[in-house]
Structure 1
Amino acid sequence: MILPRYHIADSAIPGAGKGLFLDETVAAGRIITAPDGIDRTYRHADIHASAELMAQFHASARWFEDRYTLSPDWPDECYINHSFQPNGLWHLGFVFALTELPPGTEITVDYRHLLPPGESEDFADSATGETITGFSWSESLAGSTRALAELLDSSHADRDV
Structure 2
Amino acid sequence: MILPRYRIAPSTIGGAGKGLFLDEDVAAGRVITAPDAIDRTYGAQELAARPDLAYASARWFEERYTLSPDWPDECYINHSFEPTGLWHLGFVFALTDLAAGTELTVDYRHLLPPGQAEDFIDTASGEKIVGFGWAESLASSTRALGRLFR
1:71 Cα deviation after fit: 0.3
Unaligned runs of at least 5 residues, structure 2: none
Structure 2 residue 57 is the aligned partner of structure 1 residue 60: yes
Q: Which residue of 1 aligns with 2:101?
A: 104
Aligned pair count reads: 150
1:23-102 residue pairs with structure 2 within 5 A? 23-53=23-53, 55-56=54-55, 59-102=56-99
User: What is the aligned-residue RMSD (CA, Å)?
Assistant: 0.6
1:139 Cα deviation after fit: 0.2
Stretches (4+) displaced over 6 A: none
Q: Deviations over 1:18-55 (max 9, x none)?
A: 000000000000000000011110000011112312x3
Corresponding letter in the other structure for 1:89: L
Unaligned runs of at least 5 residues, structure 1: 154-161
Give the secondary-structure state (helix, strand or coil) at the position aligned to 2:7: strand
Compute the TM-score of the two structures, normalised by the length of structure 1. Answer: 0.92
Q: Deviations over 1:118-154 (max 9, x none)?
A: 000010001000000000000000000000011111x
Give the secondary-structure state (helix, strand or coil) at the position aligned to 1:21: strand
Q: Which residue of 1 aligns with 2:11?
A: 11
In 1, the alpha carbon distance for the partners of 2:92 and 2:40 equals: 20
Q: Deviations over 1:74-118 (max 9, x none)?
A: 110000000000010000000000000000000000000000000
In 1, the alpha carbon distance for the partners of 2:29 and 2:50 equals: 39
Structure 2 residue 149 is the aligned partner of structure 1 residue 152: yes
Q: Which residue of 2 aligns with 1:143?
A: 140
In 1, the alpha carbon distance for the partners of 2:47 and 2:120 equals: 21
Q: Which residue of 1 aligns with 2:20?
A: 20
Structure 2 residue 115 is the aligned partner of structure 1 residue 126: no
Compute the TM-score of the two structures, normalised by the length of structure 2. Answer: 0.98
In 1, the alpha carbon distance for the partners of 2:130 and 2:70 equals: 24
Structure 2 residue 110 is the aligned partner of structure 1 residue 113: yes
Q: Report which of the two has the higher share of helix.
A: 1
Corresponding letter in the other structure for 1:119: Q
